[in-house]
Amino acid sequence: MKQSKLFTKTKKESPADEVSLNAELLIRAGFISKEMAGVYSYLPLGLRVVKKIENIIREEMDNIGGTEMRTSVFQTKEVWEKSNRWDDEVVDVWFKTKLKNGGEIGLSFTNEEAYSDILKQYINSYKDLPVYPYDFKSIFRNETRSKSGILRGREFYWKALYSFSRDESEHNEFYEKAKQAYKNIFQKVGIGHLTYMTFASGGSFSKFSHEFQTITGAGEDLIYVDPNKGIAINKEVYNDEVIESLGLKKEDLVENKAVEVGNIFSLGTKFSAPFDLKYKDENGEEKLVIMGSYGIGLGRLMGTVVEVLSDDKGIIWPESIAPFKVHLLVLGSDENIKNSAEDLYNNLKEKGIEVLFDDRADLSAGEKFADSDLIGIPYRVVVSKRSLADGGFEMKKRTEQNGKIITKEKLIDVLLETNR
């Protein structure tokens, strides 16, 4: 992509109505546009990041047997009345509206009822289980407050997988696979070193649920981390009994603020029972299906990466989810410089290397460098009179202070090697 054709522009000043770092940087760098509190549009650069995150999650879900589908955003009153979650006294975050031809509908705030209602049509026998459907979709929650940028939205994009199993043993086996898949996801997006599997309340279904919490001052949760064992306890269940049951020592636990980037729950039969979601076992006996829930908010994950991987100049994207791998800057109006930059741009594209080409002629070198740091693409390559005189192009990582001159052949080799 050529930056001259990218309709978005960077901004020098932070938005006056934003207090969160993630929203400030993402708006200034042209990744998102704020529509209202808790509602953001994803601009071209932002959408590229979200799609990279989505592909990482999809790969991990498919690896553990997930089957992708897409549930409707519109939810009918009749379905949700079965679980008693249509009532505003029970769930106070619904967005609801009336149809012109009569009847009420709501916009999805979660997916348990939707999946139970659909799977009721297809599960009859033990041979139909287990099954692990999931989808990526927009979710809507009428939150009272929404002031943490894309960490807490009224509209947000998420992945939800639901497991349908024959018994607790089968459920637990998948649950353990999901734990590892989630660890893989957070490692791949670049925050694995700051993200801890955290023991939280399991409600009435199990002793614990498991959150994945990333340490950041922007977090709304308090967790107690054992850095050596790589696990944590949420404040809501933090007590001597829990500490002892997990084989931890109080003196080893460190209090941290954190943001929840994912969670997994055992649901038991809470949502299969209201829908009479049963199967016949090998002996013809009817049994309720055992369910589990596994969620990740993609926008929240993107925002968390920005919160923890940025500096005073801007965002620092991990290579795995960066909108582009290379930010190519051309400095100077000399035809030889421009032709060399255009030639390199075409060579990089031919090799399958994602490149954003800052070909804008009306900006100074300082402005281009500032924009590049703000946008945060992993590698910056500069084509200038000086670089060409020194035998090539100046290349540096976003995290490095100084670049070095490198030939085109060597440059392409280095970028291709990091692609592997």
Closest residue by Cα to residue 307 from 139, 150, 146, 147:
150
pLDDT at 418: 78
Cβ-proximal residues to 419 (8 Å cutoff; 6+ apart), any chain: 325, 352, 353
User: Computed from CA positions of residues 401, 348, 341, 48, in that sequence, does the dihedral angle turn out positive or negative?
Assistant: negative
pLDDT at 420: 65
Per-residue pLDDT of the chain (420 residues; tens, 9 = 90+): 999 999 999 998 887 888 899 999 999 999 999 998 889 999 999 999 999 999 999 999 999 999 999 999 999 999 999 999 999 999 999 999 999 998 899 999 999 999 999 999 999 999 999 999 999 999 999 988 777 788 888 999 999 999 999 999 999 999 999 999 999 999 999 999 999 999 999 877 788 999 999 999 989 899 999 999 999 999 999 999 999 999 999 999 999 999 999 999 999 999 999 999 999 999 999 999 999 999 999 999 999 999 999 999 999 999 999 999 999 999 998 999 999 999 999 999 999 999 999 999 889 999 999 999 999 999 999 999 999 999 999 999 999 999 999 999 999 999 998 776
Lay out the sheet containing 74-76: strands in order across: 74-76, 104-107, 95-98
Note the pTM of the prediction, 2 decimals: 0.95
pLDDT at 207: 85
Domains and their CATH numbers in the chain: 9-311 (3.30.930.10), 326-419 (3.40.50.800)
Closest residue by Cα to residue 411 from 347, 364, 358:
347
> What is the number of other CB atoms lying within 10 angstroms of the CB of residue 101?
5
**Cα angle for residues 65, 70, 76 (degrees, 5° grid):** 125
Closest residue by Cα to residue 340 from 309, 383, 369, 295:
383
